[in-house]
Amino acid sequence: MSAKNSAKTTAAAPSAYTVHESVIISLARKAVAGIPGFVRFSGSSIVSDLADLVGSKRRFDKSIVVTENENEVSLDILIVAAYGSKFNEVAAAVQKAVYHQIVDFTGMKVKSIDVVVTDTEDVPVEEKPADAEVVEGEVIQ
């Protein structure tokens, strides 16, 4: 047996693995946390929020729909955006964050990430400092 032939037979075949859709959903959820203008996923309820906190693998809402085809994935993500935010910027930030999270962690190809803003919510305004004094609508410190 020649050295050339033995190299072919001893070369390791690429290992096959599968990434379950719940992992992709989890990656997408974590990627979006902290994006300015993102309030929550559409359809999120107290039950799904509590399930996320305790690490439940079961999903109680359909705010992220994953379609897998071999090593390629598409996502539909339904979100609630902050009132007054620029929806196109929020959606673009969500797409970018989710794309990088999935590619970096799984190596899968991302075919598409469609973000749908289904609602808006007022976000709580930061409270003024306790030692601040208000004079005719102005904050003086």
| Per-residue confidence (pLDDT) for residue 19, from 0 to 100 | 87
Domain boundaries, position 87: 18-122
Q: Let me know: does 121 contact 37? Beta carbons within 8 Å.
A: no
pTM of the model: 0.67
Residue 52: which CATH number? 3.30.70.1350
Within-domain flag for 109: yes
pLDDT digit of tens for each residue in the chain (141 aa)? 544 444 444 455 566 778 889 999 999 999 998 899 999 999 755 555 555 556 554 444 589 999 998 889 999 999 999 999 999 999 999 999 999 999 999 999 999 999 999 999 998 765 444 555 555 555 555
Q: Let me know: does 61 contact 98? Beta carbons within 8 Å.
A: no
* Closest listed residue to residue 106, CA positions, set 68, 53, 132: 68
Within-domain flag for 13: no
77's enclosing H/E stretch is strand 72-82
Within-domain flag for 69: yes
Length of the chain as a residue count? 141
| Per-residue confidence (pLDDT) for residue 10, from 0 to 100 | 45
87's enclosing H/E stretch is helix 87-106
Within-domain flag for 86: yes
* Angle between helices 21-32 and 87-106 in degrees, nearest 10: 130
| Per-residue confidence (pLDDT) for residue 123, from 0 to 100 | 82
Q: Let me know: does 123 contact 80? Beta carbons within 8 Å.
A: no
Within-domain flag for 131: no
Give the separation between CA 40 and CA 88, rounded to whole angstroms. 16
120's enclosing H/E stretch is strand 109-121
Q: Which residue is listed with tokens 């959606």? A: 91
Within-domain flag for 49: yes
* Closest listed residue to residue 110, CA positions, set 19, 14, 40: 19
| Per-residue confidence (pLDDT) for residue 50, from 0 to 100 | 58
Within-domain flag for 139: no
Within-domain flag for 129: no
| Per-residue confidence (pLDDT) for residue 128, from 0 to 100 | 44
Looking only at Cα atoms, what is the longest distance across the chain?
92
Domain count, the chain: 1
